[in-house]
Amino acid sequence: MKNKLLGLLGVDKLIDTIQRLIEVRVSMIRNEIKDKIKEGIEKAIPLILLFVSISVFVLFASFTLAFYLSSLFDSLVYGFGCVSLIYLMLSLLFFLLKKSEKIKNKIRSEIDKRN
């Protein structure tokens, strides 16, 4: 009796339509999420490759500079020590600059430009 009444009122069709709408919406959301993830990976991979290649360049440039300075000073310790001091000074500079509001604002504005 109850099913016949619901059938006459068309509630079962309404429920089916709502279920299909929900399924379609969930599918759309899944596809949007997949597209966002794919887009993020597409952006991240070239950046990772760039970071790796720059890191390798800096590593070999550091060794080259260290060996060159070693040949000038006739001591491996002094050559590699000078390169280590250069990196120590760069680290201290970056440490001191990390609290700079001017730099933070510049970074924020660059990020906002890209989004």
d(C-alpha 115, C-alpha 109), whole Å: 10
- How high does pLDDT run on average in the chain? 87
Query: pLDDT value at position 3?
Result: 60
Query: pLDDT value at position 103?
Result: 79
Query: pLDDT value at position 62?
Result: 96
Give the model confidence (pLDDT) of 95-112 as tens digits: 888 888 887 888 888 888
**Cβ atoms within 10 A of the Cβ of 83, count?**
20
d(C-alpha 77, C-alpha 91), whole Å: 21
Instruction: Give the predicted TM-score (pTM) of the model.
Output: 0.61
Q: Which of 86, 67, 70 is nearest to 78 (CA)?
A: 70
- In the predicted structure, residue 64 carries a pLDDT above the cut 80: yes
Instruction: Please enumerate, as own/partner, the contacts of 82-88 that have beta carbons within 8 Å and a separation of 24 or more.
Output: 87/62
* Whole-number percent of the chain with pLDDT over 70: 90
Judged by DSSP in three states, 35 sits in helix
Mean pLDDT value of segment 16-39: 92
Kindly state the tokens that stand for 81.
């020590």
- In the predicted structure, residue 2 carries a pLDDT above the cut 70: no
